[in-house]
Amino acid sequence: MYQIVSKKNLGPNVKQMVIHAPLVARKAEPGQFIILRVCEDGERIPLTIADYDREKGTVTIIFQEVGKTTKLLGTLSEGEALLDFVGPLGTASHYGDVKKVAVIGGGLGTAIAYPQAKKLHSMGVEVDTITGFRNEELIILEQEMQAVSDRLFIMTDDGSNGHKGFVTDRLMQLIEDGNQYDLVIAIGPLIMMKVVSNLTKQYGIRTIVSMNPVMIDGTGMCGGCRVTVGGKTKFACVDGPDFDGHEVDFDEAMRRQAMYKKEERKSVQEHECRMEGLGNA
């Protein structure tokens, strides 16, 4: 069993949990993920490692309550435990010889971008971080990102934080202002990563994106997490999650992402109905 050491609300339906998992924390690196199971009859879901502390033996996860399992996970309290917490899985991020990097997080993807910026900052790399949210209320990890960035730019779609625009607007401005990036790391919604990759391709800037398709076993056996990269089939759970953004077939990935929307909505509705029934008992 994996005890929940701490739990915190980061925003509307967004929660952060610190889990006691010494074996996972010992080997965890940015870019990797875990697969957890809340209870015996629960489904297995992947969540990217948002942070880790090797000395304390803890791993941090950040999730949004959108599906049946994340809603169930959100009901647990400090002191309670998860049944399974397997990892670290996936291939750790590799940056190469870089001196200046732009790290971009879109929405909840900011939680995945954070360990990337933290690792690069600890390596002495100059890090410009750009995060994007729909509005000011949804901004997460501002202080944490500030601490591991040379410069932090937070954009909102509606301008409610005083900086209206998309992450690509700020990235283009920084590039046109003469900033020479050795690498851009983009993590967030598929459409955001696609637009960022299209932009950086014009400037010849190497770009890494993090692909998080549907996963089942997390070991490359089921094939559910397949993505097309450079015209070849790759499995995000073992070949990734990091891939060359200029080679990913984002249109195919977006079509696959939408395949199970109907079933996901049904699962959530049935779960909520059962929970409401218990509340009236």
Q: Residues 114-163: pLDDT tens digits?
A: 999 999 999 999 999 999 999 999 999 999 999 999 999 999 999 999 89
Q: Does the pLDDT of residue 216 top 90, yes or no? A: no
Find the helix or strand (DSSP H, E) in which 155 lies. Answer: strand 151-156
Tokens of 58: 């803890």
Residue ranges of alpha helices (H) inside the chain are 22-27, 68-74, 110-122, 142-147, 167-176, 190-203, 236-239, 250-257, 261-279
138: nearest Cα among 163, 112, 161, 168: 161
Domains of the chain: 2-89 (2.40.30.10), 100-257 (3.40.50.80)
CA dist., res. 152 & res. 129, Å (int): 5
CA dist., res. 210 & res. 241, Å (int): 5
Of the two residues 223 and 58, the one the predictor is more confident about is 58
Q: Does the pLDDT of residue 68 top 80, yes or no? A: yes
CA dist., res. 60 & res. 97, Å (int): 28
pTM as predicted: 0.86
pLDDT at 280: 53
Residue type, 174: L
Q: What is the b/e burial string over 34-63, where b = at least 16 CB atoms within 10 angstroms of the residue's CB?
A: bbbbbeeebeebbbbbbbbeeeebbbbbbb
**Is 213:257 a contact under the CB 8 Å cutoff?**
yes
33 forms beta bridges with 48, 89
Across the beta sheet with 84-89, the strand order is 45-48, 33-37, 84-89
pLDDT at 277: 60
